[in-house]
Amino acid sequence: MKKKTIFPALCLLMLGLFISAAAQEAAYKSQAVTEPKQIDGQPVDWEGANFVNFKKAGVDYAVAHDSGHLYLILVFNTEEGLSTADQGGVFIYLSQGGKKSKDVGFHFIKKVITAEEAIARMEALGDKLTEERKAQIKERKMYNLYEGEPVGKKFKADLQKVKGQRFEPAIFRGRVERARGGPAAPGQAGFQKAVFEFKIPLQPSPGLPPLVEPGKPINLGIEWGGLTEEMKKELMTRRAEAATRATGTDSRMVVSGDEPSEGGFDRGGGELDRKTLPKKFNFWFGLLLGGQ
Protein backbone atom coordinates (compact mmCIF):
# COMPACT_ATOMS: atom_id res chain seq x y z
CA MET A 1 0.00 0.00 0.00
CA LYS A 2 2.77 2.42 0.90
CA LYS A 3 4.52 1.83 -2.44
CA LYS A 4 1.33 2.60 -4.35
CA THR A 5 0.94 5.84 -2.36
CA ILE A 6 4.53 6.96 -2.69
CA PHE A 7 4.87 6.31 -6.43
CA PRO A 8 2.20 8.81 -7.63
CA ALA A 9 3.49 11.40 -5.15
CA LEU A 10 7.04 10.91 -6.44
CA CYS A 11 5.83 11.32 -10.03
CA LEU A 12 4.05 14.54 -9.13
CA LEU A 13 7.19 15.86 -7.43
CA MET A 14 9.33 15.04 -10.45
CA LEU A 15 6.76 16.65 -12.76
CA GLY A 16 6.76 19.80 -10.62
CA LEU A 17 10.55 19.99 -10.75
CA PHE A 18 10.50 19.46 -14.51
CA ILE A 19 7.95 22.25 -15.04
CA SER A 20 9.92 24.60 -12.76
CA ALA A 21 13.18 23.88 -14.60
CA ALA A 22 11.48 24.36 -17.98
CA ALA A 23 10.03 27.69 -16.88
CA GLN A 24 13.45 28.95 -15.75
CA GLU A 25 15.01 27.75 -18.99
CA ALA A 26 12.40 29.71 -20.98
CA ALA A 27 12.99 32.89 -18.96
CA TYR A 28 14.90 35.73 -20.56
CA LYS A 29 18.55 35.75 -19.50
CA SER A 30 19.83 39.27 -18.94
CA GLN A 31 23.14 40.33 -20.48
CA ALA A 32 25.79 40.94 -17.81
CA VAL A 33 27.81 44.09 -18.54
CA THR A 34 30.84 45.67 -16.90
CA GLU A 35 30.34 49.17 -18.32
CA PRO A 36 27.16 51.17 -17.54
CA LYS A 37 24.77 51.67 -20.44
CA GLN A 38 24.47 55.19 -21.80
CA ILE A 39 20.84 56.19 -21.25
CA ASP A 40 20.39 58.42 -24.29
CA GLY A 41 17.72 56.80 -26.44
CA GLN A 42 20.40 55.37 -28.76
CA PRO A 43 20.76 51.61 -29.27
CA VAL A 44 24.43 51.76 -30.29
CA ASP A 45 25.76 50.22 -27.05
CA TRP A 46 23.32 47.27 -27.17
CA GLU A 47 25.25 45.26 -29.73
CA GLY A 48 25.34 41.60 -28.79
CA ALA A 49 22.25 41.83 -26.59
CA ASN A 50 19.52 39.24 -26.94
CA PHE A 51 16.65 41.15 -28.54
CA VAL A 52 13.17 39.60 -28.37
CA ASN A 53 10.09 40.78 -30.25
CA PHE A 54 6.72 41.48 -28.62
CA LYS A 55 4.71 40.85 -31.79
CA LYS A 56 1.43 42.36 -30.64
CA ALA A 57 3.00 45.84 -30.57
CA GLY A 58 5.95 45.31 -32.92
CA VAL A 59 8.42 46.11 -30.13
CA ASP A 60 11.93 44.69 -29.78
CA TYR A 61 13.28 44.59 -26.22
CA ALA A 62 16.47 43.57 -24.45
CA VAL A 63 17.67 43.57 -20.84
CA ALA A 64 21.13 43.97 -19.33
CA HIS A 65 22.48 44.39 -15.82
CA ASP A 66 25.58 45.18 -13.82
CA SER A 67 26.24 44.82 -10.11
CA GLY A 68 23.84 47.60 -9.15
CA HIS A 69 21.48 48.36 -12.03
CA LEU A 70 18.97 46.88 -14.41
CA TYR A 71 18.92 48.23 -17.98
CA LEU A 72 16.05 47.89 -20.43
CA ILE A 73 15.67 49.03 -24.03
CA LEU A 74 12.46 49.15 -26.07
CA VAL A 75 12.58 49.68 -29.84
CA PHE A 76 9.18 50.54 -31.30
CA ASN A 77 9.01 49.68 -34.98
CA THR A 78 5.52 51.07 -35.70
CA GLU A 79 3.67 54.18 -34.61
CA GLU A 80 0.64 52.07 -33.68
CA GLY A 81 2.81 50.04 -31.32
CA LEU A 82 4.28 53.19 -29.80
CA SER A 83 0.74 54.40 -29.11
CA THR A 84 0.91 57.22 -26.50
CA ALA A 85 4.13 56.12 -24.77
CA ASP A 86 5.80 59.40 -25.74
CA GLN A 87 3.04 61.40 -23.99
CA GLY A 88 1.79 59.08 -21.25
CA GLY A 89 5.03 57.32 -20.38
CA VAL A 90 5.90 53.69 -19.68
CA PHE A 91 5.25 51.65 -16.52
CA ILE A 92 7.79 49.00 -15.49
CA TYR A 93 7.11 46.54 -12.66
CA LEU A 94 9.43 44.13 -10.82
CA SER A 95 7.91 41.14 -9.08
CA GLN A 96 9.18 37.88 -7.59
CA GLY A 97 7.80 34.73 -6.02
CA GLY A 98 6.16 33.63 -9.26
CA LYS A 99 3.76 36.59 -9.13
CA LYS A 100 2.89 39.39 -11.53
CA SER A 101 2.50 42.04 -8.87
CA LYS A 102 2.47 45.82 -9.31
CA ASP A 103 3.63 46.48 -5.75
CA VAL A 104 7.06 47.67 -6.96
CA GLY A 105 7.44 49.69 -10.11
CA PHE A 106 8.17 52.99 -11.84
CA HIS A 107 6.21 55.31 -14.11
CA PHE A 108 8.70 56.73 -16.60
CA ILE A 109 7.31 59.97 -18.00
CA LYS A 110 8.97 63.19 -19.08
CA LYS A 111 8.07 66.21 -16.94
CA VAL A 112 8.91 69.89 -17.23
CA ILE A 113 9.68 71.46 -13.85
CA THR A 114 10.79 74.87 -12.61
CA ALA A 115 14.23 75.60 -11.16
CA GLU A 116 12.69 75.77 -7.68
CA GLU A 117 11.09 72.37 -8.19
CA ALA A 118 14.42 70.98 -9.42
CA ILE A 119 16.14 72.20 -6.24
CA ALA A 120 13.43 70.72 -4.03
CA ARG A 121 13.67 67.44 -5.96
CA MET A 122 17.45 67.21 -5.54
CA GLU A 123 17.23 67.96 -1.82
CA ALA A 124 14.51 65.35 -1.40
CA LEU A 125 16.91 62.82 -2.93
CA GLY A 126 19.49 63.67 -0.27
CA ASP A 127 21.66 66.17 -2.17
CA LYS A 128 23.19 68.92 0.02
CA LEU A 129 23.10 72.00 -2.18
CA THR A 130 25.13 75.10 -1.43
CA GLU A 131 23.67 78.54 -2.10
CA GLU A 132 26.11 78.88 -4.98
CA ARG A 133 24.84 75.65 -6.54
CA LYS A 134 21.22 76.77 -6.10
CA ALA A 135 22.04 80.04 -7.83
CA GLN A 136 23.53 78.11 -10.77
CA ILE A 137 20.39 75.98 -11.06
CA LYS A 138 18.19 79.10 -11.02
CA GLU A 139 20.00 80.48 -14.06
CA ARG A 140 17.57 78.35 -16.08
CA LYS A 141 13.86 78.73 -15.46
CA MET A 142 12.70 75.29 -16.60
CA TYR A 143 14.20 71.79 -16.65
CA ASN A 144 13.24 68.49 -18.26
CA LEU A 145 12.93 65.68 -15.72
CA TYR A 146 13.57 62.17 -17.05
CA GLU A 147 12.96 60.10 -13.94
CA GLY A 148 10.77 57.17 -13.06
CA GLU A 149 8.17 58.01 -10.44
CA PRO A 150 7.88 55.14 -7.93
CA VAL A 151 4.51 53.38 -8.06
CA GLY A 152 2.98 50.63 -5.96
CA LYS A 153 1.60 50.86 -2.44
CA LYS A 154 4.39 48.77 -0.88
CA PHE A 155 7.18 50.61 -2.67
CA LYS A 156 5.81 54.04 -1.74
CA ALA A 157 5.41 53.00 1.90
CA ASP A 158 9.03 51.82 2.01
CA LEU A 159 10.24 55.11 0.51
CA GLN A 160 8.57 57.09 3.28
CA LYS A 161 10.94 55.38 5.73
CA VAL A 162 13.99 56.93 4.05
CA LYS A 163 12.51 60.30 3.11
CA GLY A 164 15.24 62.96 2.98
CA GLN A 165 18.00 60.35 2.79
CA ARG A 166 20.22 59.67 -0.20
CA PHE A 167 18.17 58.09 -2.97
CA GLU A 168 19.17 57.13 -6.52
CA PRO A 169 16.31 57.69 -8.98
CA ALA A 170 15.50 55.47 -11.92
CA ILE A 171 16.10 57.35 -15.18
CA PHE A 172 15.20 57.04 -18.85
CA ARG A 173 15.39 58.65 -22.27
CA GLY A 174 12.96 58.35 -25.17
CA ARG A 175 13.60 59.35 -28.77
CA VAL A 176 11.17 59.22 -31.71
CA GLU A 177 12.65 59.25 -35.21
CA ARG A 178 10.62 60.69 -38.07
CA ALA A 179 11.57 61.12 -41.71
CA ARG A 180 12.49 64.69 -42.59
CA GLY A 181 11.64 64.29 -46.24
CA GLY A 182 10.55 61.77 -48.81
CA PRO A 183 7.46 59.55 -48.87
CA ALA A 184 6.23 58.13 -45.56
CA ALA A 185 5.20 54.53 -45.07
CA PRO A 186 1.40 53.97 -45.20
CA GLY A 187 -0.14 54.94 -41.88
CA GLN A 188 3.20 55.94 -40.42
CA ALA A 189 3.09 59.75 -40.97
CA GLY A 190 6.87 59.82 -41.39
CA PHE A 191 7.46 57.59 -38.35
CA GLN A 192 10.63 55.49 -38.56
CA LYS A 193 11.19 54.11 -35.08
CA ALA A 194 11.25 55.06 -31.41
CA VAL A 195 13.83 54.02 -28.83
CA PHE A 196 13.32 54.12 -25.05
CA GLU A 197 16.11 53.24 -22.60
CA PHE A 198 15.73 52.73 -18.85
CA LYS A 199 18.13 52.43 -15.92
CA ILE A 200 16.74 51.08 -12.64
CA PRO A 201 18.88 50.94 -9.48
CA LEU A 202 18.50 47.54 -7.82
CA GLN A 203 18.88 49.22 -4.40
CA PRO A 204 17.80 52.87 -4.68
CA SER A 205 18.59 53.63 -1.04
CA PRO A 206 21.11 52.05 1.36
CA GLY A 207 18.39 52.31 4.02
CA LEU A 208 16.15 49.88 2.14
CA PRO A 209 16.57 46.28 0.99
CA PRO A 210 17.14 45.62 -2.73
CA LEU A 211 14.09 45.84 -4.99
CA VAL A 212 14.59 42.18 -5.90
CA GLU A 213 16.17 39.34 -3.97
CA PRO A 214 19.47 38.25 -5.56
CA GLY A 215 19.47 34.78 -7.07
CA LYS A 216 15.70 34.57 -7.52
CA PRO A 217 13.84 34.77 -10.85
CA ILE A 218 12.07 38.05 -11.62
CA ASN A 219 8.81 38.72 -13.39
CA LEU A 220 9.18 41.99 -15.31
CA GLY A 221 6.06 43.79 -16.52
CA ILE A 222 5.87 46.61 -19.07
CA GLU A 223 2.78 48.72 -19.76
CA TRP A 224 2.10 51.73 -21.98
CA GLY A 225 -0.38 53.37 -24.33
CA GLY A 226 -4.10 54.04 -24.21
CA LEU A 227 -5.74 57.36 -23.49
CA THR A 228 -3.62 59.99 -21.77
CA GLU A 229 -5.15 62.18 -19.06
CA GLU A 230 -5.43 65.04 -21.55
CA MET A 231 -7.27 62.80 -24.01
CA LYS A 232 -9.67 61.62 -21.32
CA LYS A 233 -10.50 65.20 -20.38
CA GLU A 234 -11.02 66.12 -24.03
CA LEU A 235 -13.35 63.18 -24.60
CA MET A 236 -15.34 63.98 -21.48
CA THR A 237 -15.74 67.55 -22.68
CA ARG A 238 -16.94 66.35 -26.08
CA ARG A 239 -19.33 63.92 -24.44
CA ALA A 240 -20.82 66.72 -22.33
CA GLU A 241 -21.16 68.99 -25.36
CA ALA A 242 -22.73 66.22 -27.42
CA ALA A 243 -25.20 65.38 -24.65
CA THR A 244 -26.21 69.04 -24.43
CA ARG A 245 -26.85 69.16 -28.17
CA ALA A 246 -28.76 65.90 -28.07
CA THR A 247 -31.22 67.20 -25.47
CA GLY A 248 -31.94 70.37 -27.44
CA THR A 249 -32.37 68.89 -30.92
CA ASP A 250 -33.58 65.83 -32.75
CA SER A 251 -29.96 64.70 -32.64
CA ARG A 252 -28.03 62.90 -35.36
CA MET A 253 -26.24 60.87 -32.69
CA VAL A 254 -26.81 59.05 -29.44
CA VAL A 255 -24.38 59.15 -26.53
CA SER A 256 -24.56 55.97 -24.50
CA GLY A 257 -22.44 53.53 -22.55
CA ASP A 258 -19.14 54.00 -20.77
CA GLU A 259 -16.88 53.85 -23.81
CA PRO A 260 -16.40 56.83 -26.13
CA SER A 261 -17.04 54.57 -29.11
CA GLU A 262 -20.54 53.58 -27.96
CA GLY A 263 -22.96 55.86 -29.73
CA GLY A 264 -20.09 57.95 -31.06
CA PHE A 265 -18.95 61.54 -30.67
CA ASP A 266 -19.89 64.19 -33.19
CA ARG A 267 -16.65 65.78 -34.33
CA GLY A 268 -18.23 67.89 -37.04
CA GLY A 269 -17.66 65.17 -39.61
CA GLY A 270 -18.16 61.69 -38.23
CA GLU A 271 -17.86 59.58 -35.13
CA LEU A 272 -14.93 58.63 -32.97
CA ASP A 273 -14.92 54.84 -32.55
CA ARG A 274 -12.65 52.30 -30.92
CA LYS A 275 -10.49 51.96 -34.00
CA THR A 276 -9.37 55.57 -33.74
CA LEU A 277 -8.38 55.37 -30.07
CA PRO A 278 -4.73 54.69 -29.13
CA LYS A 279 -4.17 51.10 -28.08
CA LYS A 280 -2.98 50.04 -24.66
CA PHE A 281 -0.27 47.38 -24.43
CA ASN A 282 1.23 45.33 -21.62
CA PHE A 283 3.25 42.16 -21.28
CA TRP A 284 5.22 40.23 -18.67
CA PHE A 285 8.21 37.93 -18.98
CA GLY A 286 10.43 35.92 -16.70
CA LEU A 287 13.90 37.37 -16.18
CA LEU A 288 17.12 35.82 -14.89
CA LEU A 289 20.10 37.92 -13.86
CA GLY A 290 23.68 36.66 -13.94
CA GLY A 291 24.42 34.02 -11.31
CA GLN A 292 20.84 32.77 -11.16
Provide, for the chain, the percentages of residues in helix, strand and coil under a 3-state DSSP scheme, each rounded to the nearest 5: 30, 30, 45
**Number of domains within the chain:** 2
The whole-angstrom distance between residue 115's C-alpha and the CA centroid of its chain comes to 26
- Whether 118 maps to a domain, the answer reads no
C-alpha dist (Å) from residue 63 to 107, 139, 147, 155: 18, 38, 19, 22
pLDDT at residue 41 greater than cutoff 60 = yes
Residue 202 and residue 139: Cα distance in Å, rounded?
34
pLDDT, tens digit (0-9, with 9 covering 90-100), for 234-289: 888 888 887 777 666 554 433 333 443 333 334 444 445 566 789 999 999 999 99
Considering Cα of 142, then 75, then 289, then 40, what sign does the dihedral take? negative
% of the chain with per-residue pLDDT over 90: 59
> SS3 for 52?
strand
Asked if residue 171 and residue 106 are part of one domain, the reply reads yes
> Quick one: pLDDT at residue 33?
93
> Quick one: pLDDT at residue 274?
65
Are the C-beta atoms of 73 and 61 separated by less than 8 Å? yes
> Quick one: pLDDT at residue 10?
47
pLDDT, tens digit (0-9, with 9 covering 90-100), for 51-80: 999 999 999 999 999 999 999 999 999 999
For the chain, give the mean pLDDT: 82
**Residue 180: pLDDT band with limits 50, 70, 90:** confident
Are the C-beta atoms of 43 and 73 separated by less than 8 Å? yes
pLDDT at residue 230 greater than cutoff 90 = no
> Quick one: pLDDT at residue 241?
80
In terms of pTM, does the model score above 0.85?
Answer: no
With residue 222 as reference, give the H or E element that holds it.
strand 218-225
The whole-angstrom distance between residue 288's C-alpha and the CA centroid of its chain comes to 19
Q: How much is the average pLDDT of 174-178? A: 93
Asked if residue 221 and residue 244 are part of one domain, the reply reads no
> Quick one: pLDDT at residue 209?
92
pLDDT, tens digit (0-9, with 9 covering 90-100), for 83-97: 999 999 999 999 999
pLDDT, tens digit (0-9, with 9 covering 90-100), for 182-200: 544 545 568 999 999 999 9
Residue 150 and residue 171: Cα distance in Å, rounded?
11
SS (H, E, C) 105-166: EEEECCEEEEHHHHHHHHHHCCCCCCHHHHHHHCCCCEEEECEEEEECHHHHHHHHCCCCCC
Asked if residue 260 and residue 179 are part of one domain, the reply reads no
Beta bridge partners of 53: 60
> Quick one: pLDDT at residue 179?
83
> Quick one: pLDDT at residue 181?
60
- Is residue 264 packed enough to be buried (19+ CB in 10 Å), middle (13-18) or exposed (0-12)? middle
- Is residue 267 packed enough to be buried (19+ CB in 10 Å), middle (13-18) or exposed (0-12)? exposed
Within 10 angstroms of residue 95's Cβ, the number of other Cβ atoms is 19
pLDDT at residue 13 greater than cutoff 70 = no
Asked if residue 268 and residue 151 are part of one domain, the reply reads no
Structural domain boundaries, residue 213: 27-110+146-226+279-288
Asked if residue 232 and residue 217 are part of one domain, the reply reads no
Asked if residue 222 and residue 160 are part of one domain, the reply reads yes
- Whether 31 maps to a domain, the answer reads yes
